[in-house]
Structure 1
Amino acid sequence: MVLPEVKTVEGKILKASVYNGKVMLTDAKGGTLMVTATNLMAGNGVIHVIDTILMPE
């Protein structure tokens, strides 16, 4: 299942998809990250936990 593309603060595009029931984001270089936990309430907002960091070009 492919979801819409996501634009980063820098204007780069990440492609979103669902893999084994979890959201996966892929950058232009093919790097991927998995969203491992969502909607965790914090004192200053909501946190989504990811398993790695994607580096800009």
Structure 2
Amino acid sequence: MALPVLLGKRHPGLIDRRHIEVCTLFWLTHGLRTGDMAVIGAGGMADAGQQQRGVRR
């Protein structure tokens, strides 16, 4: 279980916010890379590099 990782040593019994943020961002990036998660509306930004260079389709 992940609970021992989330508990902070400075304040026993309390969950350390930074540990939760790291775990959340890790699983978010993992989900985005594997395709298990998606960002609604992100399709319009798929070719952001081309948009910056002014390339038209």
Q: Do they superpose with TM above 0.5?
A: no
Q: Which has the larger radius of gyration?
A: 2
- Which structure: greater strand fraction? 1
- Structure 2 length normalisation: TM-score? 0.20
- Which structure: greater helix fraction? 2
- Structure 1 length normalisation: TM-score? 0.20
